[in-house]
Each structure stands twice: as structure tokens, then as C-alpha cells.
Amino acid sequence: MQKNFNAVVVVEGKDDTIRLKQFFPGIETVETNGSAVSDAVLAKLKKLAQSREIIVLTDPDVNGERIRRIVTEAVPTAKQAFITRKEGEPQKKGSLGVEHASKEALERALSDLREVQAQKADFDYGDYVDLSLAMGRQSRQLREAVGIKLGIGYANSKRFYQRLQTFGISLAELKQAVEEAENDQQNSNR
């Protein structure tokens, strides 16, 4: 991670900020203080986006997705960083969160950023279903594995399809990620 990290990272709360500063002392964050992102926070982010890069790094859960959507609607140029559900699991008890991620997971997330793409992906919902990412017995597990391969996190079927479209993932990229995820699963079942 560069020393002159010029981006501002949007996180959910102070525990996330503490965790990031533990590994990246100079990093700047803006905390949303939960899933009810205030107009004041959104205004601050819009102003910051005029001169700084904004990175959204939220928990891999429903509230994190809601915050990511709200912030990205307000600041469409915000880049997206994701940790996996496994990376966000607490050691003892608690809920999934950025505050539980390792240094390696955070470094990977902050260096493997996704941007909203103006062009749409070159596949439709029929292709998505044909790849077993929806309406199948193993669709949830496959989406999770494909999300890791593509660095876009996990989401439910509808949101995952939207995310693929938003990031302009091509059918070729998607097919390759599905194939790799299926191969990984077959190899782990041996």
C-alpha cells in the first residue's frame, strides 16, 4: 500500500477506521455510522470527490450493500473495494465486518478496486441463469465463489446480476470465473 494513499475510504463505523489505521496509519476514512447514511455524510463525500478518490469498503452483509448503493448513487465515481464473507468473519462472536479482516485481506481489497462502467455487460439474465448463478441448488455457493474470483464480493441473485452489469463484466470473464469456481469445487470434493 502506497504511503501517499490519496483516497478517502468510506466505512461503516469507528471499529472499521481503527482496523484500517492499525495497518495503514495515514489512511483517511469517512464513517457512515450505520446504514442510515445521513445527508451530511453524503454532502461531505460529494465535496471530497471533487478533489479526492473515494473508495467504498463496507461489510459483506445486507447493511453494507445498502450503504454501498446509497454512497455510489451519491458519488457515481466512487471505486468499490470488497472483502469476502470469510475475510469478515469475527474470531469469537459478533457480526461480519471490515473490523475483523486481516491486513492481507484489506491490502487486497484496497488494491483490487472496481469501478462503475458506463457500458453494460454483454450478457443477459438468460445467460446468467444458464451459468447456474440463479435458480439452481448450488447457485448461492457458486455466486460466492465467482464473486471472490472477480473481486466483487457476494450478493443475492438479483443484486449479484446487477453488480456484474454495473461493473461491465463481460460474458467471457464471467464464464471463465464460473469455470474456475466449478473446477475449484470439484478439486476440493476429491
- Residue 95 has what pLDDT? 85
Residue 100 gets which letter from DSSP?
Answer: G
* Residue pLDDT, tens place only, 41-62: 999 999 999 999 999 999 999 8
4 vs 120: which has the higher pLDDT:
120
* 26 exposure class (CB count in 10 Å sphere: 0-12, 13-18, 19+): exposed
pLDDT at 116: 85
Predicted local confidence at residue 161, as pLDDT: 95
pLDDT of residue 1: 46
d(CA 59, CA 2): 23
- CATH numbers and ranges of domains, the chain: 1-116 (3.40.50.140), 118-190 (no CATH)
List of residues 6+ apart from 145 with CB closer than 8 A: 181, 184, 185
Per DSSP, 56 falls in state E
- CB-CB contact of 188 with 176 (8 Å): no
pLDDT in tens, 90-119: 988 888 899 999 999 999 999 999 998 877
**In this predicted model, what pLDDT tens digit does every residue of 117-166 receive, in sequence order?**
877 789 999 999 999 999 999 999 999 999 999 999 888 999 999 999 98
Q: What pLDDT is stored for residue 189 in this prediction?
A: 79
Distance, C-alpha 31 to centroid of its chain: 16
pLDDT score at 120:
74
pTM of whole model > 0.75?
A: yes
Residue 10 pairs in a beta bridge with 30, 56
